[in-house]
Structure 1
Amino acid sequence: MAMPYPLPDWNQLATLDDARLPLLATALLIARDEYPDLDPDLYDTLLHSHAEALRGEIEAIDSWPLKMQAINHHLFDELGYSGNHDEYYDPRNSYLNEVCERRLGNPISLAMVQIDVARRLGVPLDGVSFPGHFLVRLPVGDSLLVMDPFNRGRPLDEEELRERASKHFGGDEPDDDALLRILHPAGNRAILMRILRNLHAAYAEGEDWERATRSADRILRLAPGNREALRDRGLGYLELGHVQGARADIANYLQRNPEAPDAPALRERLVELGGPGRPH
């Protein structure tokens, strides 16, 4: 009998170094917050089946780019995984169980599927926390194959990457060194935190403060010192009427980030809550 697919404990994640932080299992743990009856074995088995359907074909291919082409064809053309262009900010796009069932997702969730299937097949695919849309990368000799999972795994050339990056850097295209830094592989913790930031943004936009606050809290379980998540959780607590928690988190944020652009407004809020206006 196969062993059940284990999920980690939220209270232990901060103690794990990046290599020991399980990417798929923690993504399913995030989803279980919203779907408490989620069966992680189901999705592990599903992704395993995606990979096994390709194993013979992939093992017969020598070229890394052609291996990746076959994986993308299977995922995006045969299985129908696709970027949700019509409802980009739908929170379901960030929950891996929903992505696997609906075959719809955002860039980072589709990258998660791509990465998991590729790595099961021995293809060393990594994520890239590119500004804007999350991307994936595969080392090929002395260069990189960079792909866009939101658009069916389409390869991106250097010119397009520079153009995409420039939109987030005041219109200036990055030089070679800057582009390589941007294309550095994203660690597991960074990927998981980006998923949670997407969820926080979607829920905060919809004024669903319970779920927005939960998302910020989960970021802090992964990275207890994250300043933005402290602020976001504190503001969420404030919206929910949890004054003590709001006061503690906002004061902690201000102590860690006293010169932040939002610090003056937050100090005023802290005074209103009965806390010190300026950290000692």
Structure 2
Amino acid sequence: MELDEQSTLEEPVINTNLIHEGIDFDAYSLLQLASMAEAEITGHSAIELQHNMRLQLIVIKSQLASYNEANMDKLTALLNNVYHVQNFRGDWKAFFKVKNALLSSVLSRRKGVPISLGILLIETLKEVGFSADGICFPSGFIVKVELPDGPAYIDPFNGEIVDLMQLELKVRGQLGNHARLTPEMCQADSKETVIKRYVNVLKAAYIQAESIELALLCSDILLRLDPEDALEVRDRGFLFQQLECYQLACNDFTYFIEQCPEDPIVNLLKRQIKQMSDELVAQVIH
């Protein structure tokens, strides 16, 4: 599936600023928020994605109707249904592709990356009576489910329940052998934090696909939520630079240098500003 197939939705509509700094995240589910972000980027309807997910939920909910309590037995049955019967799974072969990040594509292909699969899994869990949230874990997105006997942690990439020892191994694999699992790492993240993670994953996928304009739309959403995020302003500057919008890139690099003067990348950015300024002068002369 190439980039022109990145969404399963049809009839594009215009969506602007669905995600903004003043949005009430508690008024929406994670799926609604993520589909709103996707709609801004792809230009397709968020409502249709949510409708397609609703049809999927009706099927799963009917197959779990015999379970009265939100306990481990019901959780095991749900994961078996989603990952074995419905055959949702992580896609190692094309991990960084746009089609594995966009919810609409993941829902239709049943393959994706942890953050996209995790958002769909959280929606499914809540629909059948579980309390579930996302954790932006160091090694990848984790779903946390509250059960009568304590929390369960799920790796949404493969649908496996992981214990604290396995989580620590993931931390050490990502941060180094001296890193340790901390209680803070096991705390659920806010919807805003999860949505930022989702949009960042989309941005990285678009950059890898050399769809710089779409990556820039992702950056715009992130800066609406946190206008003073110096790192994101710097990243936007690199995107502007690739699009040969040199003045905008210089402005963003200058802002980053002012906010983070001790950052190791500052000298590189100063050279980039000099080169782009020379290019702007040459354009005016010619």
Structure 1 length-normalised TM: 0.84
Shift of 1:215: 2.1
SS at match of 2:144: strand
The one of 118, 143, 149 equivalent to 1:136 is: 143
The one of 216, 219, 226 equivalent to 1:216 is: 219
What runs of 5+ residues in structure 2 fail to find an aligned partner?
1-13, 279-286
Q: Percent of aligned pairs with the same residue?
A: 22
Specify the code of the residue in structure 2 equivalent to 1:109.
Answer: S
SS at match of 1:167: helix
Distance (Å, rounded) in 2 between the aligned partners of 1:124 and 1:138 = 6
Distance (Å, rounded) in 1 between the aligned partners of 2:18 and 2:59 = 36
Task: Tell me, yes or no, if structure 1 residue 155 matches structure 2 residue 161.
Answer: yes
Kindly indicate whether the alpha-carbon contact (under 8 Å) linking 2:101 and 2:113 is maintained by their aligned counterparts in 1.
yes
The one of 74, 83, 87 equivalent to 1:76 is: 83
Residue 91 of structure 1 is matched in structure 2 by 98
The one of 33, 39, 51 equivalent to 1:45 is: 51
Distance (Å, rounded) in 1 between the aligned partners of 2:267 and 2:152 = 45
Specify the code of the residue in structure 2 equivalent to 1:31.
Answer: E
Distance (Å, rounded) in 2 between the aligned partners of 1:62 and 1:210 = 47
SS at match of 1:155: strand
SS at match of 1:134: strand
Kindly indicate whether the alpha-carbon contact (under 8 Å) linking 1:8 and 1:26 is maintained by their aligned counterparts in 2.
no
Distance (Å, rounded) in 1 between the aligned partners of 2:188 and 2:16 = 25
Specify the code of the residue in structure 2 equivalent to 1:266.
Answer: L
Kindly indicate whether the alpha-carbon contact (under 8 Å) linking 1:128 and 1:135 is maintained by their aligned counterparts in 2.
yes
Q: How many residue pairs align between the two structures?
A: 264
Specify the code of the residue in structure 2 equivalent to 1:129.
Answer: C
Kindly indicate whether the alpha-carbon contact (under 8 Å) linking 2:101 and 2:116 is maintained by their aligned counterparts in 1.
yes
Q: Deviations over 1:132-166 (max 9, x none)?
A: 22110112346320011101x10111211111101
The one of 255, 258, 272 equivalent to 1:255 is: 258
Residue 153 of structure 2 is matched in structure 1 by 146
Residue 238 of structure 1 is matched in structure 2 by 241
Does the C-alpha gap of structure 1 residues 121 and 141 become closer, same or farther in structure 2, counting only changes over 3 Å? closer
The one of 59, 69, 72 equivalent to 1:62 is: 69
Residue 186 of structure 1 is matched in structure 2 by 189
Kindly indicate whether the alpha-carbon contact (under 8 Å) linking 2:233 and 2:256 is maintained by their aligned counterparts in 1.
yes
Distance (Å, rounded) in 2 between the aligned partners of 1:150 and 1:173 = 23
Shift of 1:91: 0.9
Q: CA RMSD in A?
A: 2.4
Kindly indicate whether the alpha-carbon contact (under 8 Å) linking 2:216 and 2:239 is maintained by their aligned counterparts in 1.
yes
Q: Structure 1 residues 153-162 or 220-229, which shifts more?
A: 220-229
Structure 2 length-normalised TM: 0.83
Does the C-alpha gap of structure 1 residues 21 and 170 become closer, same or farther in structure 2, counting only changes over 3 Å? same
Specify the code of the residue in structure 1 equivalent to 2:177.
Answer: G
SS at match of 2:21: helix
Q: Deviations over 1:103-135 (max 9, x none)?
A: 111001000110111112221111111112211
SS at match of 2:253: helix
Task: Tell me, yes or no, if structure 1 residue 126 matches structure 2 residue 133.
Answer: yes
Equivalent residues in 2 for 1:197-216, closer than 5 Å: 197-216=200-219
Distance (Å, rounded) in 2 between the aligned partners of 1:96 and 1:43 = 8
SS at match of 1:127: strand
SS at match of 1:125: strand
Moved over 4 A (4+): none
Does the C-alpha gap of structure 1 residues 266 and 81 become closer, same or farther in structure 2, counting only changes over 3 Å? same
SS at match of 1:13: coil
Q: Structure 1 residues 40-49 or 239-248, which shifts more?
A: 40-49
Distance (Å, rounded) in 2 between the aligned partners of 1:50 and 1:69 = 18
Q: Structure 1 residues 60-69 or 102-111, which shifts more?
A: 60-69
Distance (Å, rounded) in 2 between the aligned partners of 1:238 and 1:198 = 21
Distance (Å, rounded) in 2 between the aligned partners of 1:172 and 1:161 = 14
Distance (Å, rounded) in 2 between the aligned partners of 1:18 and 1:258 = 33
Kindly indicate whether the alpha-carbon contact (under 8 Å) linking 1:147 and 1:154 is maintained by their aligned counterparts in 2.
yes
Kindly indicate whether the alpha-carbon contact (under 8 Å) linking 1:146 and 1:157 is maintained by their aligned counterparts in 2.
yes
Does the C-alpha gap of structure 1 residues 157 and 22 become closer, same or farther in structure 2, counting only changes over 3 Å? closer
SS at match of 1:128: strand
Q: Structure 1 residues 38-47 or 125-134, which shifts more?
A: 38-47
